[in-house]
Structure 1
Amino acid sequence: MHPNPAVFAPLLLASLAFFVWSLYRKLSLIALGRPGYTFRGIGEGLREMLLYAFVQKRVLHKFFGLNHLVIFWACMVLVFVNVEFVVSGVFPAARLSALPDALYVPIRFLSDIMSALTLAAIVIALVRRTFFPPYPEARSFESYLILLLIAVHMIAFFGVSAAEIARGEERAAAFMPVASFFGEFLADLTPKHIGATFNFYWWLHAGALLSFITVLIPFTKHLHVFTAIANCFLHTGIKPNTQLPEVFEAGRTFGVGQVDRFTVKDLFDPFACTKCGRCQQVCPANITGKPLNPRQVVNDIKVNLLANGPLLKRGGVPTLPLIGDGGPGSVSEEAIWACTSCGACMEACPVFIEHLPKVVGMRRHLVEMEARFPEELLNLFENMEQRSNPWGIAPGERTKWASLLEVKPFARGETEYLLYVGCAGSFDSRSKQVTVNLATILDAAGVSWGILGKDEKCCGDSLRRLGNEYVFDRMARENAALFRERGVTKVITQCPHCFTTLKNDYRQYGIELEVIHHAELIRQLLAEGRLKLDRRVSDLGKIILHDSCYLGRHNDVYEAPREVVAAVTGAAPAEFDRAREDSFCCGAGGGRMWMEEQTGTRINLNRVTEALAKHPDTICVACPYCMTMFEDGLKDKQAGQTRVKDIAEVVAEGMRPVQ
């Protein structure tokens, strides 16, 4: 006997009404966000949704993602069964059994197998979450409730199907091995007891389904069943290599000091978060004991929005501070300043949550609206404003590295490339050696290049990532005007921070530059035969290559440094355990180059320790910041036997004649 529709129908309608109201109450708060989202188009959105939401490409980047894929696709297949369950609960005659066998039997077979796979996957997930959680807080009541309710859902499905098979009402029984197995246990019961069993499991199934509708989806992270798919469809494709600009006018508010200052996309992200913990597992600040946890930052934004959103919709004043030590819903200043802008969190996130722009937005508020930032940044900001470099050295000193070389100024129509030396390449004693070697390489290859000399200014990378957008904006405008005036269209950089800023950030200022990092250019010169090597380099011993975050993860330049090392030494460099898109930050990005680490262990020591485990003779880098951090780390580790060399220095070794 089928349960009474007069009982189920009102429960279903009430649940659906509550579901819609709950989602509207939450998701309507997203509209409080500012504009700033650019949709890439329906075609691109559908492609990304298919690849990342349904094929789950990023989820499968980790081995356990396979278990999630099983649960996800089982639920997709079982949608048909649940739709039938709901419809037949209201209209008992509307059942899948009305379909012809060619359709009905495969559906029942898939339902049976997928339900069994889901149960197995749930057991694995429960074991993993209990004994091998991705992070300690993953052992939460909410997570266990979700897994157990899914399990109850599957058990109820088998109970209903087994009862139907025992009553002889399931014509696809021969193709439902798992349900048939359970059906054998009911075969000896009386029709009355079988009917009671059917009703019990039917209502258990109904209870589980209605609980999903009224509780789990609206009030737990399981909302991501819908929002994560939408986020994959809507994601901008923006890498962490640039930030949204600001318009500086009197009376405007800058940065993000309260939750409605985030963009609409920023406010949608927290509802898409699956709380998988992958972002915090790769965050260098979190790994080394800093208070920054990307997952928690995103969750705090959601908590803050839910607390303050209704007040803000009515024109009220928020009561829970976004920045500060207000507990859940507030992000501490120490956490905000701990970020290295490496972008590992965004690379790891399976549903394209953009953590970095949120942190930079809050930094902007602290710097531009409250002048509240770590004291050690005061000299940096003053030096940048007054002398356009972090050290505050006179601009006339920018060309001292070239005192023994014949270096020409860049000339419109005569010079092909501008060598943008950068602040480190101009002033840092160690990086100046790299600049000299790079200049030598360019001359040997017959490249037409020149410099701006004392007219060169800092690109402003650290300023933008630290939230001092006002000074960055001024610098970027001045640089863009200078490039136009001099006729600069092609730029060579040795610093990935200069590389990504000139290539990506400066587009916002109406100037499109063809920017090439020296690792890419050297690879090109070697491939074209323009750069000749006099010998194979073997005296550097075992070389291990470090991927700079700003060159690799931010701009997808991974192969060029490896190919250069292989061409010079005759062998591919050794790899870190964490390499390429999984590379671990040196600790200097996001302006952290100019700040001390007061909490936890030093990020560069974590990376140096990983390098030393491979017993290298030489650590090869392609970034002056990485150079500094590795050399400092090796000194702290008293590992003087290991050297640090830039790509250009390795190539220069190969250009020296055989003695």
Structure 2
Amino acid sequence: MEHTLFFVILSLSFSAFAFSCYRRLALVAVGRNEYRFDRPLDRLREMLVYAIGQKRVVSRPFGLNHGIIFWAFLVLALANLEFLVSGIFPTVSFALLPPPLHGALLLLFDVCSMATLVAVTIAAVRRTVNPPFEGARTFEAYLILTMIATLMLAYFGLNGVRIAQGIVPATNTTPVSDLVARLIMATPAAGALEQAGSVFWWLHAVVLLGFMNFLPYSKHMHILTAIPNIFLRSMEKCNTQEREEFLEGNSFGAATVERLTWKDLLDSFSCTECGRCQQSCPASSTGKALNPRSVIHAIKENLLQNGAVIEKLSGDSEAERCISLIGKAKAGSTKEAALWSCTSCGACMEACPVFIEHLPKIVKMRRHLVQMEASFPEELLSLFENMEQRSNPWGMAPSERSKWSSQLDLRPFVAGETEYLLFIGCSGAFDARNKQVSVALTRVLDAAGVSYGVLGKEEKCCGDSVRRLGNEYLFDQMAKETVRQFIAKGVTKVITQCPHCFTTLKNDYRQYGLELEVLHHSELIERLFQEEKLIPEGKAELGRVVFHDSCYLGRHNDVYQAPRDVLRTATGHEVLEMGRNRANAFCCGAGGGRMWLEEHEGTPINRNRVQEALAQQPETICVSCPFCMTMFEDGIKEVAGNTTQVKDIAEVVALSLQPVPFPPSIS
């Protein structure tokens, strides 16, 4: 009778579970199409490394605890499968296997169950004493941990009763269960072993099936979606944005969930709410409105609230007016201030163990605000006008672009006569401090005999900031104009000193059919040193040197070692590292268009990073980006009495090439 009852309960439970999963995952289909099935073998390998191997999870200290739970979960899935099958067919169990194999399985199940019990206890204590983020102490979190712990205790109780009854022999393959059996025999339950076994069996069954049916309605839905989400991850760095088609009647950006892609929506179900993105985010950690975890959670809430409506009214304008991803602080929406706080540094994506792509979603929402509602911070109005009319952020006359080199004998780029185009960029041409970097770089290139030319007054802004700020229409115009210019002039190789120009020319312009070999000056100088085309005459005497990683050079393009090697060669010693460096480096605060916006909330991001650098007691802070240069110099000015200097790596190399002080002051 019990087996029949269990069969009915099991059938109903699996039916309810399947229906719940279908209803949730079917909502993903309301998103726009996106192809994520290329390179299947590479995807499988990445899934094995990052999903099964938990590479990103265990990269942080407490991640090992979660890894233990996950790996034990995989093993105990076999034990639970046996449990469910034997609940209907009592004679079917692993006991039918050869004794050595059965014994090995019993030992594995015992050890994994104990490891899981210890791990969930640690997780509960940590969440109580030192939660990973504010608001982590939720009823749901404790409920899940309690259910897992109950499953383990019920497993040990059931096995202990069976050992006490003699159904399962007491061997050294079940050390924990043997101990439990001895404890049971020392209690009044020893006189009612059959009833105790029944209690433990049904406790395990009810909690297991309840846990299974609770999953689709909790954040632990990621147990089902995280592995496929990693398989479907972007196989390239998320260092560019999707192009838009500017046709009459089209909508731009995303203010509603159906304007996101199905992968964006799957991301929302895959979020583990571990808080790593929030901890890594420079905006969130300095008191801004942005919280990457909340952005993803809001997308999920919005989808759950409005997905069914969208399915029925697909594309209906009335439905679009009723729902929005962007709004005041309410369930299913993200405040505009939070979207404008993003520096596009990519730290959230680098930290996420399930490869959620936060940044593209934020840019899509920015695009809607800029292009559909003309709603953006007032400071950006002049920026957009300057970019559109004069192709630089400051609105300087194009004729001023080449004045930085008026005392230099630079050649114009001519295809066939010059190998590289030296793309100076707006900061290198117009910003007083970064003009010095431009001069230093030309002297380094001349010393190495590099064949290069410049565009001079003809150079235009690459458009990085306007694209990341969501003004895709303006970027599209700027990109097309530069692509036509490069093709007409036969440009195939480019040197940049700005990582933002570097990533835009290298990655964004590919969408426009322009394939360039783009080198950041750190990469080229490293190569020149290696080939002995550039040999220091001495060592740059800069004292203690600490290096700051540019987000757009490092996280977005994986260039970490080149600038360090260049500095080591130029100074004669290894650079100091900040506490957060390389892939975990903290942003300077200028990316994503934030260079042109004031910070009105919390602590300035650049001040946070400057304090981290000064903790190393350096005499020189080295950077490889004009935006970082500006943010560090501004931050240091706020520290009274500090004499630390900021140098670009090109300036450091130039110092090693000549005995006289360098570079001269440029106004």
Q: Given the two structures, how large is their TM-score scaled by the length of structure 1?
A: 0.98
Q: Does 1:508 align with 2:511?
A: yes
Listed as ranges, the matches of 1:301-316 within 5 Å are 301-315=299-313
Question: Which contiguous aligned blocks of 4+ residues in structure 1 show a shift greater than 4 angstroms?
Answer: 188-192
Q: Tell me the distance in 1 between the aligned counterparts of 2:160 and 2:555.
A: 52
Specify the alignment match of 1:56 in structure 2.
54
Q: Does 1:360 align with 2:363?
A: yes
Q: Summarize deviations over 1:225-280 as a string: whole Å, max 9, x none.
A: 12111111111123231111111111100000111100111010011100000000
Aligned partner of 1:395 among 394, 398, 414? 398
Q: Summarize deviations over 1:346-398 as a string: whole Å, max 9, x none.
A: 00000000000000000000001111100000000000000111011111111
What residue identity is the alignment partner of 1:408? R
Q: Retained in 2: the 8 A contact 1:285–1:603?
A: yes
Please give the secondary structure, in 2, of the residue aligned with 1:199: helix
Please give the secondary structure, in 1, of the residue aligned with 2:622: strand
Q: Tell me the distance in 2 between the aligned counterparts of 1:620 and 1:356.
A: 27
Aligned partner of 2:574 among 572, 575, 599? 572
Query: What are the ranges of 5 or more consecutive residues in structure 2 without an aligned counterpart?
Result: 662-667
Specify the alignment match of 1:290 in structure 2.
288
Aligned partner of 1:406 among 400, 405, 409? 409
* Structure 1 residues 504 and 639: CA distance shift in structure 2, 3 A: farther
Q: Retained in 1: the 8 A contact 2:404–2:429?
A: yes
Q: Retained in 2: the 8 A contact 1:534–1:658?
A: no
Aligned partner of 1:499 among 497, 502, 507? 502
Q: Does 1:488 align with 2:491?
A: yes
Q: Tell me the distance in 1 between the aligned counterparts of 2:35 and 2:616.
A: 44
Specify the alignment match of 1:15 in structure 2.
13
* Structure 1 residues 179 and 372: CA distance shift in structure 2, 3 A: same
Aligned partner of 2:525 among 522, 527, 545? 522
Q: Does 1:417 align with 2:412?
A: no
What residue identity is the alignment partner of 1:93? T
Q: Summarize deviations over 1:33-57 as a string: whole Å, max 9, x none.
A: 1123332332112101100011100
Deviation at 1:102, TM superposition (A): 2.3
Q: Retained in 2: the 8 A contact 1:535–1:654?
A: yes
Please give the secondary structure, in 1, of the residue aligned with 2:643: coil
Aligned partner of 1:149 among 147, 167, 173? 147
Q: Summarize deviations over 1:161-217 as a string: whole Å, max 9, x none.
A: 0000000011364310100001012336687600011000001100111111211x1
Identity over aligned residues, as a percent? 56
Specify the alignment match of 1:543 in structure 2.
545
Work out the number of aligned pairs and report it: 655
Q: Summarize deviations over 1:410-453 as a string: whole Å, max 9, x none.
A: 00111100000000001011100000010111111100000111
Please give the secondary structure, in 2, of the residue aligned with 1:299: helix
Q: Summarize deviations over 1:320-351 as a string: whole Å, max 9, x none.
A: 42111150111100000000000000000000
Listed as ranges, the matches of 1:315-464 within 5 Å are 315=313, 317=319, 319-325=322-328, 327-464=330-467
Query: What are the ranges of 5 or more consecutive residues in structure 1 without an aligned counterpart?
Result: none
Q: Retained in 2: the 8 A contact 1:167–1:191?
A: no
What residue identity is the alignment partner of 1:202? W
Q: Does 1:76 align with 2:78?
A: no
Residue range with higher mean Cα deviation, 201-210 or 34-43: 34-43
Q: Retained in 2: the 8 A contact 1:320–1:326?
A: no
Specify the alignment match of 1:118 in structure 2.
116
Q: Retained in 2: the 8 A contact 1:288–1:603?
A: yes
Specify the alignment match of 1:177 in structure 2.
175
Q: Tell me the distance in 2 between the aligned counterparts of 1:40 and 1:57.
A: 22
Please give the secondary structure, in 2, of the residue aligned with 1:174: coil
Q: Retained in 1: the 8 A contact 2:189–2:196?
A: no
Specify the alignment match of 1:208 in structure 2.
207
Q: Does 1:101 align with 2:104?
A: no
Specify the alignment match of 1:186 in structure 2.
184
Please give the secondary structure, in 1, of the residue aligned with 2:562: helix
Q: Tell me the distance in 1 between the aligned counterparts of 2:637 and 2:474.
A: 35
Q: Does 1:466 align with 2:469?
A: yes
Q: Does 1:85 align with 2:83?
A: yes
Specify the alignment match of 2:42 in structure 1.
44
Q: Tell me the distance in 2 between the aligned counterparts of 1:222 and 1:437.
A: 54
Q: Does 1:558 align with 2:560?
A: yes
What residue identity is the alignment partner of 1:201? F
Q: Summarize deviations over 1:562-615 as a string: whole Å, max 9, x none.
A: 111110111011010000001000000000000000111100000011111111
Q: Retained in 1: the 8 A contact 2:110–2:176?
A: yes
What residue identity is the alignment partner of 2:340? W
Q: Retained in 1: the 8 A contact 2:415–2:489?
A: yes
Q: Summarize deviations over 1:445-482 as a string: whole Å, max 9, x none.
A: 10000011111110000011000000101111111111
Q: Given the two structures, how large is their TM-score scaled by the length of structure 2?
A: 0.97
Residue range with higher mean Cα deviation, 324-333 or 490-499: 324-333
What residue identity is the alignment partner of 1:515? V
Deviation at 1:13, TM superposition (A): 0.7
Aligned partner of 1:227 among 221, 225, 228? 225
Deviation at 1:640, TM superposition (A): 3.8
Q: Tell me the distance in 1 between the aligned counterparts of 2:36 and 2:25.
A: 19
Deviation at 1:532, TM superposition (A): 2.2
Q: Tell me the distance in 2 between the aligned counterparts of 1:498 and 1:383.
A: 18
Q: Retained in 1: the 8 A contact 2:256–2:323?
A: no
Q: Tell me the distance in 1 between the aligned counterparts of 2:624 and 2:641.
A: 21
* Structure 1 residues 465 and 345: CA distance shift in structure 2, 3 A: same
What residue identity is the alignment partner of 2:446? D
Q: Tell me the distance in 1 between the aligned counterparts of 2:374 and 2:236.
A: 29
Q: Retained in 2: the 8 A contact 1:480–1:509?
A: yes
Q: Tell me the distance in 2 between the aligned counterparts of 1:460 and 1:42.
A: 34
Listed as ranges, the matches of 1:132-171 within 5 Å are 132-171=130-169
